[in-house]
């Protein structure tokens, strides 16, 4: 497995850092990763190792305000900034790996981003989309007063920052995963009003437009997820074109299926789906 790093300057002047993991020989396809909120692409090295064993490359980048990328922690001026960053990221990948199939893979907030990206831009150059535990809706209802304040702050001062309040035990039923998450200095734990409201609104938009989803989709969600809503993913899958969507709910699975005690089964389901489309 070959690991490399790269960076580029976004359209609004931020340095964004990416990294890739390549298998020996020519990859069967490239999987382009968009990670979740308050984490970073480096947490997917074990996913890359599994994909590499099956001759797939994994290339990811740290979202603006995350990991080793620039930007205020947990912030984007607007949701469209995330979408533009993904567009630039995919342009780099399709240039470097010209001729290879490319799949777009997102988890949690990244899962919502990739669903929205496909719906908004309908990228025919992609072979498919993978979304795990996407942020379409939260698994809990934020207090009404807090939501009102967030919406107001998003209009007046979108960079207003506060703790996201994520419980590491909700990540996985594996206590070692929770401990590693809690002690990782790159998991910043912050979210701004602008980012929060943008993510909430984009999730609702994706649910409303699911019937027009244009690409093959593997959608997986744990039924014990206490962070993002599995029923919302089930509704998205039911509304999306039946000939394109594969929905896989995982009983007892918490938020990070790729880090669950049964992660080997999850990753095997992922590579089986990829193999059927390469």
Rounded percentage of the chain residues whose pLDDT exceeds 70: 97
Name the E strands within the chain: 2-9, 15-22, 29-34, 56-61, 102-107, 128-132, 161-163, 190-192, 217-222, 245-250
Encode pLDDT of 39-89 as tens digits.
Answer: 999 999 999 999 999 999 999 999 999 999 999 999 999 999 999 999 999
Indicate the pLDDT class of residue 166, thresholds 50, 70 and 90.
confident
Looking at residue 241, which CATH number applies to its domain?
Answer: 3.40.50.1820
Confidence of residue 168 (pLDDT cuts 50, 70, 90): very high
List b or e across 86-116, with b for residues whose CB sees 16 or more CB atoms inside 10 angstroms: bebbbeebbeebeebbbbbbbbbbbbbbbbb
Strands 2-9 and 15-22, sheet pairing: antiparallel
Number of domain units in the chain:
1
6-47 pLDDT, tens digit per residue, is: 999 999 999 999 999 999 999 999 999 999 999 999 999 999
Range of the domain at 185: 2-275
For the record, the structure tokens of 223 come out as 């039924």
């Amino acid at each position: 497995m070959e690991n490399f790093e790269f960076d580029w300057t976004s359209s609004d002047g931020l340095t964004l850092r990416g990294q890739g993991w390549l298998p020996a020989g020519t990859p069967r396809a490239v999987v382009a990763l968009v990670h979740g909120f308050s984490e970073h692409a480096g947490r997917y090295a074990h996913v890359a190792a599994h994909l590499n064993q099956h001759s797939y490359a994994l290339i990811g980048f740290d979202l603006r305000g995350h990991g080793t990328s620039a930007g205020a922690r947990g912030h984007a001026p607007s949701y469209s900034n995330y979408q533009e960053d993904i567009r630039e990221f995919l342009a780099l990948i399709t240039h470097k790996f010209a001729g290879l199939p490319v799949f777009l893979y997102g988890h949690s907030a990244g899962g919502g981003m990739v669903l929205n990206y496909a719906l908004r831009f309908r990228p025919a150059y992609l072979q498919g989309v993978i979304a795990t535990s996407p942020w379409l809706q939260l698994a809990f209802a934020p207090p009404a007063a807090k939501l009102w304040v967030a919406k107001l702050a998003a209009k007046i001062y979108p960079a207003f920052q506060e703790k996201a309040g994520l419980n590491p035990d909700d990540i996985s039923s594996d206590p070692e995963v929770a401990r590693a998450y809690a002690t990782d200095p790159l998991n910043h734990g912050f979210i701004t009003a602008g980012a929060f409201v943008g993510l909430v609104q984009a999730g609702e938009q994706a649910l409303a437009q699911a019937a027009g989803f244009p690409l093959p989709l593997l959608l997986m969600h744990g039924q014990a997820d206490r962070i993002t809503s599995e029923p919302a993913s089930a509704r998205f899958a039911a509304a999306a074109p039946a000939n394109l969507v594969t929905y896989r709910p995982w009983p007892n699975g918490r938020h990070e299926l790729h880090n669950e005690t049964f992660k080997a089964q999850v990753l095997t389901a992922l590579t089986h789906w990829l193999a059927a489309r390469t």
